[in-house]
Amino acid sequence: MSDLNTITQSLISGDIDSLLEQVKAALEKGISASDILTKGLITGMDIVGERMETGEMFIPEVLMSAHTMGEAVKILKPLLAEGESVSAGCVIIGTVKGDLHDIGKNLVAMMMQSAGFDVIDLGVDVDSDTFMKAIEEHAPKIVGLSALLTTTMPMMRETIEKITQSGKRDSLKIMVGGAPVNKEYADEIGADAYASDAGSACKLAKAMLK
């Protein structure tokens, strides 16, 4: 098994001690930080996302893998040449106004970060004006809206309408998700995509930007 395959497997299993040792050993062998990141770590998180979708991995295991990757990236960051890490794009994410639920949103943010996206997490109870300010400041490729309450779902529509009225709608994609949300509602309010879980959200984000 190659060094990069070993790194991928340790990431999937959430074995942080082994992963950090393997990353350091790979660097000593002359494997580039960029290759370790893209071909070892991000490849591993892609597999984690797929296994989450199929029910082979559960949220605690996914969180462990994401945390393990975060620690490995700390070693690689200083070694990545400027621009070498090549961000997959900027994503703004938040739970809409009136809703304080964040577990699902946090997991999506972690998975997106692990996939190489620059994630701006606005937190919970985010109104449409705050989303707009963040869009003006960061020029994201994707905006993710989360709602866990049926009573806050209309805030998704309001936020999408505000983005559309601002003239920014054509420059970004909007993804929605959360327990009460489904594809029909996403289509109804003009979202580009609906994701039922963090793994599929990450896969959809990559597909939309290809």
DSSP string for 116-160:
T-EEEE--SSB-HHHHHHHHHHH--SEEEEE--SGGGHHHHHHHH
Is the pLDDT reported for residue 53 higher than 90? no
Q: Please, which pLDDT band fits residue 15 given cuts at 50, 70 and 90?
A: very high
pTM of the model: 0.82
pLDDT in tens, 83-125: 555 578 999 999 999 999 998 899 899 889 888 899 999 999 9
Domain boundary assignment for the chain: 3-79, 90-208
Looking at residue 39, what is its pLDDT? Answer: 92
Angle at 172 between CA 169 and CA 173, to 5 degrees: 100
Looking at residue 77, what is its pLDDT? Answer: 85
Residue 155 CB-half CA count within 13 A: 25
Contact yes or no for 98/152 (Cβ under 8 A):
yes
The string over 105-120, giving b where at least 16 C-beta atoms fall within 10 Å of a residue's C-beta and e elsewhere, is bbbbbbbbbbbbbbbb
User: Once rounded to an integer, what is the mean pLDDT over residues 118-139?
Assistant: 97
Is the pLDDT reported for residue 13 higher than 90? yes
User: Once rounded to an integer, what is the mean pLDDT over residues 22-33?
Assistant: 95
Question: 3-79 sits in which CATH class?
Answer: mainly alpha
More confident of the two residues 178 and 79:
178
User: Once rounded to an integer, what is the mean pLDDT over residues 125-150?
Assistant: 97
Query: Would 3-79 and 90-208 be classified into the same CATH topology?
Result: no
Angle at 176 between CA 175 and CA 181, to 5 degrees: 155
Using DSSP bridges, classify how beta strands 118-121 and 173-177 pair: parallel, antiparallel or unpaired: unpaired
> How many of the other CB atoms lie within 10 Å of CB of 38?
16
Residue with tokens 């959360």: 178
Report d(CA 31, CA 126) in Å as an integer.
42
Is the pLDDT reported for residue 82 higher than 80? no
Question: 90-208 sits in which CATH class?
Answer: alpha beta
Is the pLDDT reported for residue 67 higher than 70? yes
Looking at residue 198, what is its pLDDT? Answer: 87
Contact yes or no for 36/26 (Cβ under 8 A):
yes
> How many of the other CB atoms lie within 10 Å of CB of 1?
8
Could you tell me the strand order of the sheet in which 173-177 lies?
118-121, 90-95, 142-146, 173-177, 193-194
SS3 109: helix
Supply the mean pLDDT for the chain: 92
